Amino acid sequence: MLAAIKICDTALMGVADRANDMEPSDELHKIRLAVGSVLTEIDQQLISPTLRRHPELLPDAEEMKLR
């Protein structure tokens, strides 16, 4: 699960990075807010509850920079 989340995190950050070079500042702001919102929801709804139930996964999450 953590590996799949890391792939998603990387892909979303890539979208935000590519938008940086292509979009005007107002659109860039919207894209960054959207990416941040998605990543926040993934953390609140998936990562955090999983780590509470399985604290032994915390070192892996930290290594993947998901924590």
Residue from 52, 49, 66 nearest 2 by CA: 66
- Looking at residue 16, its pLDDT comes to 95
Report which residue type is found at 23: E
Cα 49 to Cα 34: distance, rounded to the nearest angstrom? 22
- The string of pLDDT tens digits covering residues 6-58 is 999 999 999 999 999 899 999 999 999 999 999 999 999 999 999 999 999 99
pLDDT at 13: 96
**Tell me, what's the pLDDT at 44?**
98
Domains contained in the chain, number: 1
